[in-house]
Amino acid sequence: MNGSVGKPVHLAVYDTLADWETGHTTAYLARAGYGIRTVGPSREPVVSIGGLRIQPDLALGDLRPEDSSLLILPGADLWDASDDLAPFARTARAFLDAGVPVAAICGATAGLAREGLLDDRAHTSAASFYLAATGYAGAGRYVEADAVTDGGLITAGPTEPVAFAREVFRLLGVYEGEVLDAWYRLYHDSDAEAYAVLQQARAR
């Protein structure tokens, strides 16, 4: 594990966000020492798909790339139901332009596609035809993979929260090499042998 922890990680929260998609990521980033701050459209509470009521720590308009280590964008029904979350995609552009990474999963990848952020980066999502429906110009860069990192941007589909977390940990240097591989094998494949590798790493 990287012993140097920097600025907070910012988790976008909005109505209908998919609870299950970022739990591995935020839990283990917090264990690694990162502060997790939630960012909503405003400071008003939002409600997830699972009915969780979340009070954002700050409003999107107050978020600056220079204050963050990473912006995480979960999926949500609203990504495809309206343009309400388009400001989050625009913020993702500002982050990437500033050299600060962004991680998007499920419906958030469609929002980034509409913003043009997937046109020139290798990426993945729930399915290629799902992103094609946005009319974006990046179909040729679509990769059939559990999660993809390119140009400071991580993408994954809704069934790959563990692979999504793995890419975040790799990008931020939270876990590396055999430890990163063991973490993934434990939580994705239920590989009991991987647990011993993680225990040895914690004991160092």
* pLDDT tens, position by position, 69-96: 999 999 999 999 999 999 999 999 999 9
Question: Over the stretch 146-187, which tens digit does the pLDDT of each residue have?
Answer: 999 999 999 999 999 999 999 999 999 999 999 999 999 999
DSSP annotation of 58 reads: E
* Residue located via tokens 């140097």: 4
pLDDT of residue 200: 87
Bridge partners, residue 59, by sequence: 40
Q: Is 137 left (phi over 0), alpha (psi -120 to 50) or beta?
A: alpha
- Answer yes or no: is pLDDT of 5 > 80: no
pLDDT of residue 3: 44
197 neighbors 178 (Cβ within 8 angstroms): yes
pLDDT of residue 203: 76
**What average pLDDT does range 103-109 have in this prediction?**
98
How high is the mean pLDDT of the chain? 95
pLDDT of residue 78: 97
pLDDT of residue 168: 98
Cβ-proximal residues to 189 (8 Å cutoff; 6+ apart), any chain: none
**What average pLDDT does range 112-141 have in this prediction?**
97
Bridge partners, residue 135, by sequence: none
63 neighbors 102 (Cβ within 8 angstroms): no
Question: Over the stretch 6-60, which tens digit does the pLDDT of each residue have?
Answer: 899 999 999 999 999 999 999 999 999 999 999 999 999 999 999 999 999 999 9
Domains of the chain: 9-173 (3.40.50.880), 176-204 (no CATH)
- Answer yes or no: is pLDDT of 100 > 60: yes
| Catalytically annotated residue among 63, 106, 148, 186 | 106
106 in active site = yes
Cα separation, 82 vs 137, whole angstroms = 20
- Answer yes or no: is pLDDT of 2 > 70: no
